[in-house]
Structure 1
Amino acid sequence: MYEPAAAVTDWLLAGICAPLAAWCAFRRRLAWAGAFATLASGAAAGALYHGQLKPTRHGSAAWTAVSLLVAGGMLALYLASAAELGVLRRRGWAALGALSGAALAGGCAAGLRTLEPLLATQSGSMAGIVALWVRAGRRKEAGAGWFLGAIGASAAAAVVRALPIQFRLHWEWNGEALYHLAQIPGLLLIVAGVRNRLLAAKRAHDARR
């Protein structure tokens, strides 16, 4: 499927997520680094898919691979959130992560003949992310507001994707291409939240000295 606007904006997403992964890794936030690296891989795969000059017989398999990476990225964001808040090993949160991971693994084991397992992974992971940061906001955890803002930005991006938008500006633009752009604020808000929590931890450490 040749959609140059979607391909270029996917490359832009990959180009943003990759340095964000490096930034998190440099600051020893490895769970976040892994999440951003997975998202970068998914965006790059999406760019290759949208950039095909003509449809190929491998198109559906390529889209399944993109969907797999997107689902994996969402699961990674959930696990990073749980690790950030120190609840990754607690029974309920661990169970949700395990169920989402099992859906992803089950879909892979079944040959990814349908996208339902991937959608289940994304839905479960997103529900967990929302629950974690709403809980953190109620507890006035450092940086929670930034993460809740990221969730709101992600929801707004999903609305953009669903809109029947079609116009020409050098290329043909549609909701998918604009969705890629609309995801950028949410990604930056996540990093702002991580940075805020790092600074809060440093201030708390300095206060105890």
Structure 2
Amino acid sequence: MLAEPAPALSDLALGLVVVVLAVRLGRSPVAHRHWRTSFWWAGAAALAGFVHHGVVKHSARWTGPSWAVISAMVVIAVSYLLAATVAEVLGPRHQRTFWLLRSIGIAAYAVLAATGHAGVDALLACESLTMLSIIVLWGRAARRRHPLAGPVIIALVADGAAAAAKAVDPDVTHRVALDPTSLYHLAQILGMVLLYAAVSAPRRPDPEPGALAG
């Protein structure tokens, strides 16, 4: 019997959808490979979440390590999301920019760890800085009329709205036989589908190298 049926099954649904989208991205002639890798890691993290909520939650001993592994998978997925964003917005030759932006979240976590606030929740909180970098880059791309900017920003907003589901009063979600975590998992599906649609859509001719970097 599943330890937490609703969170487990909703994570399973999210994971299966995202893995299917990752497979489809692998067949896309236009999507950058980093998008596909990000989807694979996100899907794997959701499937691991199914195991976590369904099985591991029976054991108090392994719940913490299991959640730490899933959190690390999420961090990797976000890293590839940033890498794909840098490649799409600035061009493929901006590895230094990627590492500079990636180091923001890492440095923030290092500071928290040094002050005795290390932990999975702190790690995920620091990842919000990486997501902010991604949003800023796409906002810059929108001002320069990058063809993907609008659809990607809509997908990111949808994903952010999904995260807000965690703050919904459980008494409200209980009316539809869900809890905030389960609602969050299901709401994420929309964001991932929108992101897939954005990055797999036919592109207009690419701008000149560096045209969006100036």
1:31 offset after TM fit, Å?
0.5
Answer whether contact 1:103 1:118 (CA < 8 A) is retained.
no
> Amino acid of the residue matched to residue 150 of structure 1?
A
Higher relative contact order (CA 8 A, sep 6+): 2
1 CA distance for matches of 2:178 and 2:134? Answer: 30
Does 2:54 correspond to 1:51?
Answer: yes
Identify unmatched segments of 5+ residues in structure 1: 108-112, 203-209
Write out per-residue CA displacement over residues 148-183 of structure 1, whole angstroms, 9 at most, x where no aligned residue.
1012101211111111224165xx521000000111
* RMSD, matched Cα: 2.8
1:131 offset after TM fit, Å?
0.6
Answer whether contact 1:8 1:47 (CA < 8 A) is retained.
yes
2 CA distance for matches of 1:180 and 1:82? Answer: 27
Match of 2:152 in 1: 147
Does 2:70 correspond to 1:66?
Answer: yes
1:37 offset after TM fit, Å?
0.3
Identify unmatched segments of 5+ residues in structure 2: 113-117, 207-214
Q: Percent identity?
A: 30
After the TM superposition, which segments of 4 or more aligned residues of structure 1 sit over 6 Å from their partners? 102-107
Match of 1:26 in 2: 27
2 CA distance for matches of 1:42 and 1:134? Answer: 27
Write out per-residue CA displacement over residues 75-113 of structure 1, whole angstroms, 9 at most, x where no aligned residue.
221111112223461654441124446778999xxxxx6
- TM-score, normalised via structure 1 length: 0.81
Match of 1:119 in 2: 125
C-alpha change, 1:44 and 1:149, in structure 2 (3 Å) is same
2 CA distance for matches of 1:104 and 1:140? Answer: 34
DSSP 3-state at the match of 2:178: strand
> Amino acid of the residue matched to residue 11 of structure 1?
L
- TM-score, normalised via structure 2 length: 0.79
Tell me the matched-pair count: 195
DSSP 3-state at the match of 1:27: coil
1:60 offset after TM fit, Å?
1.0
C-alpha change, 1:142 and 1:102, in structure 2 (3 Å) is same
